[in-house]
C-alpha cells in the first residue's frame, strides 16, 4: 500500500493563518476568501425557522449546500428536525461531527457505500434516513444492514422517491406501490414516506412559471397518495421543496417537510427569482472577498476566478463597489468593467465583494469559510467555519 500522501501541510498552514485573523477587522482577510456575513445568515436562519413554525410544517434544510456540521447544528438548534444530504460520505462527515438526524435524500446503489452507511447506522447515535427508487436499491440496503448485524426493527427510515416533474431520480406514481410494499416487508426498514422534489422548478424566474411546474408536482403526489391509500397504506410524510418553491409546497397541504437549503446563504441565481407572495426575504450572506490586482484603461482585474466560485449558474454579481460587472477572466481572475461612464473603476488593491451565482458548488471549493460579524465594511472576523463534507462525493 502507498504511504498516505500529505494532503494537509498547505491546508494546515492556511487554516492557521486564517485563525490568526480572528478578532481582526475585515481588512485583514486575505483574498480570495469565502466569507459568511454571520448577521445576514442568522437573519435568514430565523426567517425560515419562523416561516416553518408559523406554517406548522417541519423544516429539514439541505446541508449539501453548506456541508458544515456547525451550521447543521445551528439549524437544528433553531427548530429544524434534522438535515438532508445528498451523498453517503456527506452523511458520514456530518454524523462523525455529531449531527444527530440526517436524511440522504438521494438514491445509493453501490454496495460499498451502503456498507459504510450500515456501519454508521450500527455504530453512531445519529438517526439516518435514505431515499430509494428501485427494488435493487432496497434489497442492497437490507443486505448491507444484515451484513453488519443490524437487525433491529426500523433501524433506518426509508422514503420512496417519486419523480414529480424534475425528470431525475424517482419512479412514476404507479410504480411507487410495489416499492413501498417491499420496504414495509422488511423489519429493519421503516417506511417513512415519499420524497417529492422538483429541482428545475426552483430556478424558473416568474412565480406563475414556478406555480405551473409545482401544480404538476402536486398532481403526481396526489396520484401516488391515492394509489397507496387504496392499498390501505398510510403515508407518514411527504418531504421535498427548495428555496425557489417552498412557499407553494408549504401551502399545498400535501408536503409535511421542507428541504430548502440555499435560503441560508442566498446566491445570485436565487436572488434573480421573482419572490413568492408570503415568502420571507432572504439576504445575501455568502461572499467571495477579492482584491483588485491589475487596472488598465478599460477594466480592472480581481484575484477571484472560477477556482474561487462556481459558475454553473452564472457569473458572480459584484456586490461592492457599486456599478461593476464581473466577466470571466479564467481560473484565477475576474475582469471588472463599469456599467456606465458615471462609474469609476476600482483602484489597485481595492476590495471587491462578489456574490456567487450558485452557493453549493462554491462552498465545496473551500476548506473553511470566514465568519464575519458586523458587516462587510466595518466587521471583524468572529470565527472560522469548517466545510466538513468538502469533497465528500462518494
Ligand X SMILES: Cc1ncc(COP(=O)(O)O)c(C=O)c1O
Positions that interact with ligand X (CB under 6 A):
62, 65, 84, 105, 197, 199, 202, 242-243, 259-262
From 264, 266, 260, 262, select the one nearest 247 (Cα to Cα): 260
CB 319 within 8 A of CB 355: yes
Residue (18 or 93) nearer to ligand X, CB: 93
Residue (180 or 363) nearer to ligand X, CB: 363
Residue (37 or 267) nearer to ligand X, CB: 267
CB 332 within 8 A of CB 305: yes
CB of 245 to ligand X, least distance (A): 9
Which cell numbers hold the place of 328? 470571466
Residue (168 or 383) nearer to ligand X, CB: 168
Residue (337 or 390) nearer to ligand X, CB: 390
Residue 352 DSSP code: E
Q: What is the dihedral of CA 288, 292, 293, 297, to 10 degrees?
A: 140
Going by their DSSP bridges, the two strands 127-132 and 101-104 should be labelled as parallel
**Continuous H helices in the chain:** 8-19, 38-55, 69-77, 88-96, 111-123, 135-147, 173-184, 207-230, 246-252, 268-271, 359-363
From 156, 271, 263, 165, select the one nearest 218 (Cα to Cα): 165
**CA atoms of 295 and 338, how far apart (whole Å):** 12
CB of 217 to ligand X, least distance (A): 12
Q: State how far the alpha carbon of 122 is from the alpha carbons of 68, 111, 116, 129, in Å.
A: 23, 16, 10, 13
Residue (70 or 163) nearer to ligand X, CB: 163
CB 114 within 8 A of CB 90: no
Residue (25 or 199) nearer to ligand X, CB: 199
Which cell numbers hold the place of 198? 422538483
From 245, 196, 237, 191, select the one nearest 218 (Cα to Cα): 196
**CA atoms of 109 and 97, how far apart (whole Å):** 25
Q: Cα 75–76–82 angle (5° rounding)?
A: 110
CB of 322 to ligand X, least distance (A): 27
CB of 96 to ligand X, least distance (A): 22
CB of 233 to ligand X, least distance (A): 23
**CA atoms of 344 and 144, how far apart (whole Å):** 62
From 341, 385, 354, select the one nearest 291 (Cα to Cα): 354
CB of 59 to ligand X, least distance (A): 11
CB of 89 to ligand X, least distance (A): 16
CB of 6 to ligand X, least distance (A): 34
**CA atoms of 139 and 129, how far apart (whole Å):** 16
Residue (193 or 334) nearer to ligand X, CB: 193
**CA atoms of 251 and 385, how far apart (whole Å):** 34
Residue (108 or 260) nearer to ligand X, CB: 260
Residue number closest to ligand X, CB atom: 242
Residue (37 or 360) nearer to ligand X, CB: 360
CB of 310 to ligand X, least distance (A): 13
CB of 267 to ligand X, least distance (A): 9
Amino acid at each position: 500500500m502507498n504511504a498516505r500522501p500529505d494532503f494537509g501541510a498547505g491546508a494546515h498552514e492556511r487554516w492557521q493563518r486564517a485563525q490568526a485573523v480572528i478578532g481582526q477587522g475585515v481588512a485583514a482577510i486575505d483574498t480570495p476568501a469565502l466569507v459568511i456575513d454571520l448577521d445576514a445568515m442568522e437573519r435568514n436562519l430565523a426567517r425560515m425557522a419562523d416561516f416553518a413554525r408559523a406554517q406548522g410544517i417541519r423544516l429539514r434544510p439541505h446541508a449539501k449546500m453548506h456541508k458544515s456540521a456547525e451550521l447543521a447544528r445551528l439549524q437544528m438548534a433553531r427548530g429544524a428536525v434534522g438535515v438532508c444530504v445528498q451523498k453517503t460520505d456527506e452523511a458520514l462527515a456530518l454524523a462523525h461531527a455529531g449531527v444527530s438526524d440526517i436524511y440522504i435524500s438521494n438514491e445509493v446503489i453501490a454496495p460499498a457505500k451502503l456498507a459504510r452507511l450500515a456501519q454508521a447506522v450500527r455504530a453512531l447515535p445519529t438517526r439516518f434516513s435514505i431515499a430509494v427508487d428501485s427494488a435493487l436499491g432496497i434489497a442492497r440496503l437490507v443486505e448491507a444492514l444484515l451484513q453488519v448485524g443490524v437487525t433491529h426493527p426500523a433501524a433506518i427510515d426509508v422514503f420512496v422517491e417519486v419523480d414529480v416533474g424534475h425528470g431525475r431520480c424517482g419512479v412514476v406514481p404507479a410504480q411507487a406501490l410495489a416499492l413501498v410494499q417491499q420496504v414495509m416487508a422488511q423489519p429493519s426498514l421503516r417506511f417513512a414516506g415519499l420524497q417529492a422534489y422538483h429541482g428545475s422548478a426552483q430556478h424558473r424566474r416568474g412565480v406563475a412559471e414556478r406555480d405551473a411546474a409545482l401544480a404538476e408536482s402536486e398532481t403526481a403526489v396526489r396520484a401516488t397518495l391515492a394509489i397507496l391509500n387504496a392499498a390501505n397504506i398510510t403515508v407518514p410524510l411527504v418531504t421535498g421543496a427548495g428555496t425557489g418553491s417552498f412557499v407553494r409546497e408549504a401551502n399545498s397541504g400535501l408536503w409535511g417537510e421542507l428541504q430548502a437549503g440555499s435560503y441560508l446563504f442566498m446566491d445570485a441565481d436565487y436572488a434573480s427569482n421573482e419572490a413568492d407572495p408570503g415568502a420571507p426575504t432572504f439576504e445575501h450572506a455568502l461572499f467571495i472577498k477579492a482584491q483588485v490586482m491589475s487596472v488598465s484603461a478599460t477594466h480592472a482585474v480581481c484575484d477571484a476566478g472560477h477556482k474561487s466560485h462556481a459558475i454553473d449558474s452564472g457569473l458572480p454579481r459584484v456586490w461592492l463597489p457599486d456599478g461593476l460587472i464581473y466577466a470571466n477572466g479564467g481560473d484565477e481572475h475576474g475582469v471588472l468593467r463599469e456599467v456606465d461612464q458615471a462609474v469609476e473603476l476600482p483602484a489597485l488593491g481595492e476590495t471587491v465583494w462578489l456574490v456567487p451565482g450558485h452557493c453549493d458548488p462554491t462552498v465545496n471549493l473551500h476548506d473553511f469559510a470566514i465568519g464575519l460579524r458586523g458587516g462587510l465594511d466595518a466587521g471583524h472576523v468572529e470565527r472560522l467555519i469548517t466545510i466538513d463534507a468538502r469533497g465528500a462525493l462518494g
